[in-house]
Amino acid sequence: MNLIDMFIEYRSYFLTGLQYTLLLAAIGVFCGFILGMIVALIRMSSWGIVRFIGHAWVEFLRGTPMLVQLFIIHYGFPTIGISFSPIESGAITLSINSSAYLAEIFRAGIQGVDRGQGEAARSLGMTRGMALRFIIIPQAVKTVLPAIGNEFVTIIKESSIVSIIGITELIFQSGAIVGITYNGMTPYLIVAVMYFILTFTLSRILGIFERKLKTSDHR
Protein backbone atom coordinates (compact mmCIF):
# COMPACT_ATOMS: atom_id res chain seq x y z
CA MET A 1 0.00 0.00 0.00
CA ASN A 2 1.46 3.37 -1.01
CA LEU A 3 1.47 6.57 1.02
CA ILE A 4 -1.58 8.16 -0.61
CA ASP A 5 -3.75 5.05 -0.39
CA MET A 6 -2.85 4.51 3.26
CA PHE A 7 -3.49 8.14 4.13
CA ILE A 8 -6.91 8.01 2.50
CA GLU A 9 -7.88 4.72 4.14
CA TYR A 10 -6.70 5.75 7.62
CA ARG A 11 -7.24 9.48 7.31
CA SER A 12 -9.41 9.56 10.43
CA TYR A 13 -6.42 8.31 12.48
CA PHE A 14 -4.01 10.82 10.94
CA LEU A 15 -6.41 13.76 11.19
CA THR A 16 -7.21 12.98 14.81
CA GLY A 17 -3.49 12.84 15.56
CA LEU A 18 -2.98 16.11 13.70
CA GLN A 19 -5.66 17.82 15.80
CA TYR A 20 -4.01 16.81 19.05
CA THR A 21 -0.56 17.75 17.76
CA LEU A 22 -1.74 21.22 16.76
CA LEU A 23 -3.64 21.66 20.03
CA LEU A 24 -0.60 20.79 22.14
CA ALA A 25 1.70 22.94 20.01
CA ALA A 26 -0.67 25.91 20.23
CA ILE A 27 -0.92 25.61 24.02
CA GLY A 28 2.84 25.16 24.35
CA VAL A 29 3.54 28.17 22.13
CA PHE A 30 1.06 30.48 23.86
CA CYS A 31 1.83 29.52 27.45
CA GLY A 32 5.56 29.17 26.80
CA PHE A 33 5.66 32.66 25.28
CA ILE A 34 3.96 34.27 28.28
CA LEU A 35 5.85 32.26 30.89
CA GLY A 36 9.13 32.77 29.07
CA MET A 37 8.68 36.54 29.11
CA ILE A 38 7.91 36.45 32.84
CA VAL A 39 10.97 34.31 33.57
CA ALA A 40 13.14 36.62 31.47
CA LEU A 41 12.02 39.60 33.54
CA ILE A 42 12.60 37.62 36.74
CA ARG A 43 16.14 36.85 35.60
CA MET A 44 16.73 40.58 35.13
CA SER A 45 15.35 41.54 38.55
CA SER A 46 17.42 43.77 40.84
CA TRP A 47 16.80 41.31 43.71
CA GLY A 48 19.38 38.55 43.94
CA ILE A 49 17.04 35.86 45.30
CA VAL A 50 14.54 36.53 42.52
CA ARG A 51 17.28 36.31 39.89
CA PHE A 52 18.42 33.02 41.42
CA ILE A 53 14.91 31.55 41.12
CA GLY A 54 14.74 32.51 37.46
CA HIS A 55 18.23 31.16 36.83
CA ALA A 56 17.41 27.86 38.56
CA TRP A 57 14.21 27.52 36.50
CA VAL A 58 16.07 27.98 33.22
CA GLU A 59 19.05 25.81 34.06
CA PHE A 60 16.98 22.90 35.42
CA LEU A 61 14.59 22.79 32.47
CA ARG A 62 17.33 23.17 29.88
CA GLY A 63 19.59 20.70 31.67
CA THR A 64 17.12 17.80 31.94
CA PRO A 65 15.44 15.79 29.16
CA MET A 66 11.87 16.72 28.31
CA LEU A 67 10.92 13.06 28.68
CA VAL A 68 12.02 13.11 32.32
CA GLN A 69 10.03 16.31 32.89
CA LEU A 70 6.96 14.66 31.35
CA PHE A 71 7.30 11.60 33.60
CA ILE A 72 7.73 13.76 36.70
CA ILE A 73 4.58 15.74 35.91
CA HIS A 74 2.44 12.80 34.79
CA TYR A 75 3.66 9.98 37.03
CA GLY A 76 5.54 11.76 39.83
CA PHE A 77 3.07 14.44 40.88
CA PRO A 78 0.22 11.96 41.58
CA THR A 79 2.37 10.50 44.38
CA ILE A 80 2.04 13.84 46.21
CA GLY A 81 -1.65 14.20 45.45
CA ILE A 82 -1.46 16.28 42.26
CA SER A 83 -2.87 14.53 39.20
CA PHE A 84 -3.18 15.66 35.59
CA SER A 85 -4.86 14.11 32.57
CA PRO A 86 -2.49 13.07 29.75
CA ILE A 87 -3.37 16.13 27.66
CA GLU A 88 -2.79 18.42 30.66
CA SER A 89 0.54 16.77 31.45
CA GLY A 90 1.66 17.11 27.84
CA ALA A 91 0.62 20.76 27.60
CA ILE A 92 2.30 21.66 30.91
CA THR A 93 5.52 19.91 29.94
CA LEU A 94 5.73 21.61 26.54
CA SER A 95 4.90 24.99 28.06
CA ILE A 96 7.44 24.97 30.86
CA ASN A 97 10.19 23.43 28.74
CA SER A 98 9.67 26.01 26.02
CA SER A 99 9.56 28.82 28.58
CA ALA A 100 13.15 28.11 29.63
CA TYR A 101 14.48 28.54 26.09
CA LEU A 102 12.23 31.49 25.29
CA ALA A 103 13.27 33.19 28.53
CA GLU A 104 16.89 33.27 27.39
CA ILE A 105 15.85 34.48 23.95
CA PHE A 106 13.79 37.31 25.44
CA ARG A 107 16.50 38.23 27.93
CA ALA A 108 19.08 38.51 25.15
CA GLY A 109 16.68 40.63 23.12
CA ILE A 110 15.86 42.98 26.00
CA GLN A 111 19.51 43.41 26.92
CA GLY A 112 20.29 44.08 23.26
CA VAL A 113 18.07 47.17 23.16
CA ASP A 114 20.04 50.38 23.50
CA ARG A 115 20.10 51.48 27.15
CA GLY A 116 19.41 55.01 26.00
CA GLN A 117 15.90 53.94 25.03
CA GLY A 118 15.01 53.19 28.64
CA GLU A 119 16.72 56.32 29.92
CA ALA A 120 14.83 58.46 27.41
CA ALA A 121 11.53 56.85 28.42
CA ARG A 122 12.18 57.51 32.11
CA SER A 123 13.16 61.11 31.36
CA LEU A 124 9.69 61.51 29.85
CA GLY A 125 8.11 60.38 33.11
CA MET A 126 7.61 56.69 32.35
CA THR A 127 8.14 54.13 35.10
CA ARG A 128 10.52 51.23 34.50
CA GLY A 129 7.53 48.96 33.94
CA MET A 130 5.99 51.31 31.38
CA ALA A 131 9.31 51.64 29.56
CA LEU A 132 9.62 47.86 29.36
CA ARG A 133 6.03 47.40 28.19
CA PHE A 134 5.80 50.13 25.58
CA ILE A 135 9.39 50.76 24.44
CA ILE A 136 11.87 47.98 25.19
CA ILE A 137 9.92 44.72 24.93
CA PRO A 138 8.31 45.51 21.51
CA GLN A 139 11.76 46.26 20.09
CA ALA A 140 13.26 43.15 21.71
CA VAL A 141 10.56 40.88 20.29
CA LYS A 142 11.20 42.22 16.78
CA THR A 143 14.92 41.55 17.18
CA VAL A 144 14.57 37.96 18.36
CA LEU A 145 11.63 37.00 16.14
CA PRO A 146 13.66 34.48 14.06
CA ALA A 147 14.83 32.70 17.23
CA ILE A 148 11.25 32.67 18.57
CA GLY A 149 10.06 31.17 15.29
CA ASN A 150 12.68 28.42 15.52
CA GLU A 151 11.50 27.59 19.04
CA PHE A 152 7.89 27.35 17.84
CA VAL A 153 8.94 24.91 15.11
CA THR A 154 10.80 22.90 17.74
CA ILE A 155 7.68 22.72 19.93
CA ILE A 156 5.68 21.20 17.07
CA LYS A 157 8.28 18.47 16.59
CA GLU A 158 8.81 17.81 20.29
CA SER A 159 5.08 17.42 20.89
CA SER A 160 5.55 13.88 19.55
CA ILE A 161 7.04 12.87 22.90
CA VAL A 162 3.62 12.96 24.60
CA SER A 163 2.59 9.81 22.70
CA ILE A 164 4.42 7.92 25.46
CA ILE A 165 1.69 8.75 27.99
CA GLY A 166 -1.14 7.80 25.63
CA ILE A 167 -2.12 11.06 23.94
CA THR A 168 -3.49 10.25 20.50
CA GLU A 169 -1.30 12.66 18.55
CA LEU A 170 0.43 11.81 15.26
CA ILE A 171 3.05 9.38 16.56
CA PHE A 172 0.55 7.51 18.74
CA GLN A 173 -1.91 7.21 15.86
CA SER A 174 0.73 6.05 13.42
CA GLY A 175 1.71 3.36 15.91
CA ALA A 176 -1.91 2.24 16.03
CA ILE A 177 -1.96 1.97 12.23
CA VAL A 178 1.27 -0.04 12.29
CA GLY A 179 -0.46 -2.46 14.68
CA ILE A 180 -3.40 -2.80 12.30
CA THR A 181 -1.51 -3.11 9.00
CA TYR A 182 1.81 -4.63 10.21
CA ASN A 183 3.44 -2.03 7.96
CA GLY A 184 6.27 -0.44 9.92
CA MET A 185 7.35 2.01 7.22
CA THR A 186 4.48 3.75 5.45
CA PRO A 187 2.56 5.19 8.46
CA TYR A 188 5.71 6.80 9.84
CA LEU A 189 6.64 8.17 6.41
CA ILE A 190 3.20 9.79 6.21
CA VAL A 191 3.67 11.31 9.65
CA ALA A 192 7.13 12.56 8.67
CA VAL A 193 5.61 14.30 5.64
CA MET A 194 2.87 15.82 7.80
CA TYR A 195 5.41 17.16 10.31
CA PHE A 196 7.49 18.57 7.48
CA ILE A 197 4.48 20.35 5.98
CA LEU A 198 3.58 21.83 9.37
CA THR A 199 7.07 23.08 10.20
CA PHE A 200 7.86 24.25 6.65
CA THR A 201 4.60 26.20 6.43
CA LEU A 202 5.16 27.81 9.82
CA SER A 203 8.72 28.75 8.88
CA ARG A 204 7.55 30.42 5.67
CA ILE A 205 4.77 32.31 7.48
CA LEU A 206 7.22 33.55 10.10
CA GLY A 207 9.65 34.56 7.34
CA ILE A 208 6.96 36.63 5.63
CA PHE A 209 5.98 38.24 8.93
CA GLU A 210 9.61 39.05 9.70
CA ARG A 211 10.10 40.70 6.29
CA LYS A 212 6.98 42.80 6.81
CA LEU A 213 8.30 43.97 10.17
CA LYS A 214 11.61 44.95 8.60
CA THR A 215 9.77 46.82 5.83
CA SER A 216 7.71 48.73 8.39
CA ASP A 217 10.91 49.63 10.27
CA HIS A 218 12.48 51.08 7.11
CA ARG A 219 9.40 53.22 6.57
What amino acid occupies position 156? I
Query: What is residue 218's predicted lDDT score, i.e. its pLDDT?
Result: 56
**Whether the predicted pLDDT of 58 surpasses 90:** yes
**Whether the predicted pLDDT of 173 surpasses 90:** yes
- Cβ burial of 182 (10 Å; 0-12, 13-18, 19+) is exposed
What domain count does the chain have?
1
Query: What is residue 104's predicted lDDT score, i.e. its pLDDT?
Result: 93
Cα separation, 47 vs 42, whole angstroms: 9
Query: Contact at 8 Å (CB) between 161 and 71?
Result: no
**Whether the predicted pLDDT of 219 surpasses 60:** no
What pTM was computed for the model? 0.89
Confidence at 217, pLDDT banded by 50, 70, 90: low
Point out the least confidently predicted range of 14-23, 104-113, 130-139, 174-183: 130-139
**Whether the predicted pLDDT of 209 surpasses 90:** no
**Whether the predicted pLDDT of 16 surpasses 60:** yes
Encode the chain in three state secondary structure. CCHHHHHHHCHHHHHHHHHHHHHHHHHHHHHHHHHHHHHHHHHCCCCHHHHHHHHHHHHHHHHCCHHHHHHHHHHHHHHHCCCCCHHHHHHHHHHHHHHHHHHHHHHHHHHHCCHHHHHHHHHCCCCHHHHHHHHHHHHHHHHCHHHHHHHHHHHHHHHHHHHHHCCCCHHHHHHHHHHHHCCCCHHHHHHHHHHHHHHHHHHHHHHHHHHHHHHHHHC
Query: What is residue 132's predicted lDDT score, i.e. its pLDDT?
Result: 85
Per-residue pLDDT tens for 93-140? 999 999 999 999 999 999 888 888 878 887 888 888 888 888 888 888
Can you tell me the mean pLDDT for 15-39? 92
Query: What is residue 24's predicted lDDT score, i.e. its pLDDT?
Result: 92
CATH number at residue 93: 1.10.3720.10
pLDDT mean across residues, the chain? 90
Query: What is residue 142's predicted lDDT score, i.e. its pLDDT?
Result: 82
**Whether the predicted pLDDT of 44 surpasses 70:** yes
**Whether the predicted pLDDT of 216 surpasses 70:** no
Q: Cα–Cα distances in Å, from 59 out to 8, 45, 89, 144?
A: 45, 17, 21, 20
Share of the chain above pLDDT 70, in %: 98
Q: Cα–Cα distances in Å, from 61 out to 48, 86, 204, 210?
A: 20, 20, 29, 28
* Boundaries of domain holding 65: 3-218
